[in-house]
Chains A and B, each alone.
Chain A
Amino acid sequence: MTLTGCADSLLGFILVTDMIIVASSDIATCIRATALQGVALSLLPIVLWGQHGQLIHVATVSVSALVIKALVIPWLLFRFLRSAHVRRESAPHVSRHAAALFATALTAIAFYLARVLVLPMAMPSTLLVPIALTTILHGLFVLISRRLAITQIIGYLTLENGVFIFGQTLVSDMPFAVELGMLLDVLGGVFVMGVAILHISREFDHVDTHQLSSLKD
């Protein structure tokens, strides 16, 4: 398999995990899809930059992304899921079928936008920009259309993953400490959000953010 084929397959797989996250109402499935996305994302730097040298730098980025995105964060999410006592997203603002179709429309929009924003540097795969934009749009869609706080965190993670894919174009120029800082930020974010969810489920007996609307003008 050529390098382009590898990169394309990886990015296509990320697209598949995106669709699973958008169209699934079972939260455990969403978290597993996020973990799979993390695995694919950690392989991406190796495929994209492995041939340019700097192997140690790229490898450390990969390993840290794998540990944080594919292991630690899903583990945290499963713990928060258990403490919140929910299994399914039962009444999202957009039904599942409409969500799947809407996600496809968003994918088409992202691919169209990618025709405008052409990367100035050469990358092994031409699918990098469109899949990054797709993941970002899907993450925003999940954030907007879901009610439960946990799925909103998953939407945020998907958004961050999309931005991470975009960041892969700049891996060689960024010191590793910065990359690590960004990954740790995401981890910290998920951790603090999870603690907030813990408090919310204890205080309110639910994690439905639609009902968190007492503060208004």
Chain B
Amino acid sequence: MINVLIHIGVLLAFPPLSLGLIRKTKAIVAGRVGPPLAQTYIDIAKLLTKGAVYSSTTTWLFTAGPIVSLAALLAAGLLVPIGSRAPLEFTGDVIVFVYLLALGRFFTMAAALDTGSSFEGMGASREATFSALAEPALLLGLATICVPIRALSLSGAFRAWTVGGQNLGYPATLAAAITLFIVLLAECSRIPFDDPTTHLELTMVHEVMVLDHGGPDLAFIVYGSALKLFILGSVIVHLFLPISVGANPVGATFLLLVGQSVLAVAVGLVESVTARLRLSRVPEILIGATVITALGLVALFYRGGP
């Protein structure tokens, strides 16, 4: 019971802090002071108090987009272990996890297309391409994690991980970590794939899809993107967590939050150092991610065959 409460509490409260950390890191690397760490909380609070304007050409999809997306992400958050085991753990939750993310994405794209504007349509098509290429990488990366226990459960995988000492061995771990990091950058629209701070619609991918949302809808979207970063980041951090899931909930959660912060700083550093890729080069890096994790999977099967 305590686990569940801690899980839900952390899931609701922490994510915007990651976004703040990323922005702060980028600012420091650029030589600026940057916005305060809690800026995202203030933004969300401000947006919630505002009203929203809906165009008469939109339908219910437009209002449903942000809501469904946030709901899907919250549900996915209940499937991912955050330090301790996930509240909704069951066999096959890996597949549901991936499909919840896809559901959220689908509704975002549908809402964007619903506006009838060409900018949003462009963003939706780009998003569809990138996520189509990122999904195999994500699935294979998660498969690599689940192979040792032969069951499709994230919490189960991470529990067996350190308890039995059945580490994946460094090649597969490294491969999965690299791939999932690249998928994180792609799904959360970070610099190599999309610039979250650009104001030129032609260069946007994700930002342009949510261009016409305002008020509470925009608050849900901002919070949702923080959630997505947090959820995918948890999977990555768990690969390197030294203590097992379920042993010591408070301690494990604390360590995970430390890991999340490190990951946020890492993302900020990557964003500061690299430049936005040309759109035609994005498939290369995503296919590269797929290849890396496929190789790790091959090595894993070779070592301890099915």
A interface residues (Cβ-Cβ under 8 A, vs B): 8, 12, 15, 19, 23, 96-97, 100-101, 103-104, 107-108, 111, 114-115, 126-127, 130
Partner of A130, one of B284, B290, B302: B302
Verify A103–B291 contact, CB threshold 8 A. yes
Verify A111–B298 contact, CB threshold 8 A. yes
- Chain A interface main SS type: helix
Q: Which residues of A contact B290 (CB under 8 A)?
A: 101, 104
Shortest beta-carbon distance, B213 to chain A, in Å? 34
A69 to B288, CA, bound (A): 27
Interface centre among B299, B303, B305 (most CB of A within 10 A): B299
B interface residues (Cβ-Cβ under 8 A, vs A): 171, 283-284, 287-288, 290-291, 294-295, 298-299, 301-303, 305
Verify B171–A111 contact, CB threshold 8 A. no
Shortest beta-carbon distance, A20 to chain B, in Å? 10
A104 to B171, CA, bound (A): 16
Verify B291–A111 contact, CB threshold 8 A. no
Verify B287–A97 contact, CB threshold 8 A. yes
A119 to B201, CA, bound (A): 59
Shortest beta-carbon distance, B176 to chain A, in Å? 15
Partner of B302, one of A19, A97, A104, A111: A111
Q: Which residues of B contact A104 (CB under 8 A)?
A: 290-291, 294-295, 298
Verify A111–B284 contact, CB threshold 8 A. no
A and B contact pairs by CB, cutoff 8 A, 16 listed: A15-B295, A96-B284, A100-B287, A100-B291, A101-B287, A101-B291, A104-B291, A104-B295, A104-B298, A107-B298, A108-B298, A111-B299, A115-B302, A126-B302, A126-B303, A130-B302
Interface centre among A15, A97, A101 (most CB of B within 10 A): A97
Verify A12–B171 contact, CB threshold 8 A. yes
Q: Which residues of B contact A114 (CB under 8 A)?
A: 302
Interface centre among B290, B291, B305 (most CB of A within 10 A): B291
A47 to B81, CA, bound (A): 41
Verify B283–A97 contact, CB threshold 8 A. yes
Verify A111–B287 contact, CB threshold 8 A. no
A176 to B231, CA, bound (A): 57
A15 to B287, CA, bound (A): 17
A100 to B287, CA, bound (A): 8
A206 to B99, CA, bound (A): 50
Shortest beta-carbon distance, A25 to chain B, in Å? 10
Shortest beta-carbon distance, B62 to chain A, in Å? 35
